[in-house]
């Protein structure tokens, strides 16, 4: 596909900043960049007066669109990460500008090559940002179709070698752009279970990092090598392989296929409650992760999604017109992915999800976190006396659980206790606790009589019961 950045119906991105004002007039930056381009032409033997007015306007308009797109893209970082409505209009404007920019550089490529000196890596940077827009729109909406959109743009950058000339320029910042593109592409491929592409990308990224560190005396060599180690560990974290009859590996997916929905148990009624929102929280020490996505978060988010529609297969080249027959859009539960949030961050996102939860809907909370155990015996046995799970303390944790024992007379202030979730039982709630201290949530109290399921990891139960609880517990919440 790589075509104009088609604006999704309801866009969003975790990636970005808000513009404080509209950009209707060309900013000064646009003017100076245009003047620079024209001076370059004059220095090469021409005169500014010799440039046709139409070509001068083409360069000016391109610089304006380029500056405006960058300003809007940077503005996305200031948008609130929680809430499902505030970002939509701003994100839509960003898509509109990138659509115009992408089509403009296609339509006026020759003039921009001759008069502006447009380089292929600059085209690749535009395509990369469009891919990021689609990826972060997926993060905001959980619509897996847009993962394919991001993959199409990222794949086109690789196929068309937009970054191929970057290594010939003595500019380390351009090489870093290329390395970041590879890292983002790998994340998208992991989410799409394109493991064959992931392995190729990891090999290419390894070669690029080796060349980068060899040519430039950089301080970030250790960080990039850590990126390689993380993605290698992430790939190896799921060793299960399924083989066909001809011994070829079958890529399995945790997502729900169109025909793979489980049958309802006898007596269950469809449509009473639907899963609308989910908080997926990862805060385990020393856990395999890549790009703030732990393995357990990765598996859970896919378990809450349908298989993505392959929108990209309909338009596999940049600039192609969109098909009039769009596939039917399917809704997935909206998700927040929180990697090592603080208590206040977790509570803010939880409150936002609670506030926006539609009627007859369920909020799911998945807690994968290090257990916090009680520091001593208590006279009472309330919801704050059995510990809970750890949230991020914004400081280094040394030797794992050592943080929990710094003061025996006080409860751990960064612990999420069962009682902290009681206020949210005012609405239907599904809680999954995957922790060494999940047993703290064993007697979770339903104060408001709303549908409630609290599913604990097997470590909370005797071995005789392990492996027998998931279906009975889940079925209670579906009725």
**What is the percentage of the chain residues whose pLDDT exceeds 90?**
50
**What would you report as the CA-atom Rg of the chain, rounded to the nearest whole angstrom?**
26
Q: What does the pLDDT read at residue 167?
A: 82
Q: Give, as one character, the DSSP assignment of residue 427.
A: S
Mean pLDDT of 1-28: 40
Give a three-class secondary structure readout of 91-112. Answer: HHHHHHHHHHHHHHHHHCHHHH
Q: Which of 106, 120, 145, 134 is nearest to 5 (CA)?
A: 134
Residues 325-354 as b/e (b if ≥16 CB within 10 A, e otherwise) read eeeeeeebbbbbbbbbbebebbbbbbebbb
Reply yes or no on domain 52-238 having CATH 1.25.40. yes
pLDDT band (50, 70, 90) for residue 28: very low
| Fold type of domain 252-258+271-307+331-394+410-456 | Rossmann fold (3.40.50)
Q: How far apart are CA 447 and CA 426, in angstroms?
A: 8
Mean pLDDT of 177-191: 96
388 strand-pairing partners: 372
Q: What does the pLDDT read at residue 393?
A: 83
Answer with the residue of higher pLDDT: 256 or 338.
Answer: 338
Answer with the residue of higher pLDDT: 240 or 302.
Answer: 302
Q: How far apart are CA 222 and CA 219, in angstroms?
A: 8
Q: How many CB atoms lie within 10 A of CB 393?
A: 15
**What is the residue-averaged pLDDT of the chain?**
79
To the nearest 10°, report the CA torsion of 198, 201, 202, 205. Answer: -160
**What is the percentage of the chain residues whose pLDDT exceeds 70?**
72
Q: Which helix (H) or strand (E) holds 276?
A: strand 274-283
Question: Per residue in 58-67, pLDDT tens?
Answer: 999 999 999 9
Answer with the residue of higher pLDDT: 424 or 266.
Answer: 424
Domain map of the chain by residue range? 52-238, 252-258+271-307+331-394+410-456
Q: What does the pLDDT read at residue 366?
A: 97
Q: Which of 191, 192, 214, 189 is nearest to 200 (CA)?
A: 189
The pLDDT of residue 12 is above 60: no
- The pTM assigned to this predicted structure is 0.80
E strands present in 87-207: none
Q: What does the pLDDT read at residue 52?
A: 87
With beta carbons less than 8 A apart as the criterion, state whether 155 and 4 touch. no
């Amino acid at each position: 596909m790589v075509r104009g950045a088609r604006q999704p119906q309801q866009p969003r991105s975790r990636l970005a900043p808000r513009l404080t004002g509209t950009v209707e007039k060309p900013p000064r930056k646009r003017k100076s960049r245009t003047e620079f381009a024209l001076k370059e032409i004059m220095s090469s033997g021409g005169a500014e007066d010799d440039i046709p007015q139409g070509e001068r306007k083409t360069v000016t308009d391109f610089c304006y669109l380029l500056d405006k797109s960058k300003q809007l893209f940077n503005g996305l970082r200031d948008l609130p990460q929680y809430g499902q409505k505030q970002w939509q209009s701003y994100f839509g404007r960003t898509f509109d500008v990138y659509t115009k920019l992408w089509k403009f550089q296609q339509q006026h490529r020759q003039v921009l090559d001759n008069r502006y000196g447009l380089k292929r890596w600059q085209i690749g940077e535009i395509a990369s940002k469009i891919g990021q827009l689609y990826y972060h729109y997926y993060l905001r909406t959980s619509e897996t179709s847009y993962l394919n959109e991001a993959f199409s743009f990222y794949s086109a950058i690789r196929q068309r070698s937009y970054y191929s000339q970057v290594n010939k320029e003595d500019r380390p910042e351009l090489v870093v752009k290329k390395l970041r593109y590879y890292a983002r592409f790998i994340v998208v491929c992991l989410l799409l279970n394109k493991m064959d592409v992931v392995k190729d990308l990891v090999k290419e990224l390894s070669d690029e990092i080796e060349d980068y560190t060899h040519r430039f005396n950089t301080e970030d060599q250790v960080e990039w090598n850590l990126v390689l180690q993380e993605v290698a560990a992430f790939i190896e974290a799921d060793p299960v392989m399924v083989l066909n009859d001809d011994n070829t590996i079958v890529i399995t997916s945790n997502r729900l296929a169109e025909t793979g929905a489980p049958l309802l148990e006898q007596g269950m009624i469809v449509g009473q409650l639907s899963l609308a929102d989910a908080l997926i929280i990862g805060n385990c020490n020393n856990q395999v992760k890549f790009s703030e996505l732990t393995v357990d978060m990765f598996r859970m988010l896919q378990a809450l999604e349908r298989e993505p529609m392959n929108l990209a297969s309909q338009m596999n080249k940049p600039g192609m017109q969109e098909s009039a027959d769009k596939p039917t859009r399917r809704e997935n539960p909206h998700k927040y992915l929180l990697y090592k949030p603080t208590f206040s961050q977790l509570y803010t996102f939880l409150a936002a999800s609670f506030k926006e939860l539609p009627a007859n809907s369920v909020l799911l909370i998945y807690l994968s976190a290090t257990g916090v155990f009680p520091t001593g015996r208590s006279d009472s046995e309330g919801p704050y006396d059995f510990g809970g799970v750890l949230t991020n303390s914004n400081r280094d944790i040394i030797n794992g659980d050592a943080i929990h024992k710094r003061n025996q007379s006080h409860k751990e202030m960064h612990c999420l206790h069962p009682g902290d979730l009681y206020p949210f039982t005012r609405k239907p709630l599904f809680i999954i606790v995957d922790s060494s201290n999940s047993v703290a949530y064993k007697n979770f109290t339903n104060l408001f009589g709303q549908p409630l399921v609290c599913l604990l990891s097997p470590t909370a139960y005797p071995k005789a019961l392990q492996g027998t609880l998931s279906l009975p517990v889940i079925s209670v919440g579906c009725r």
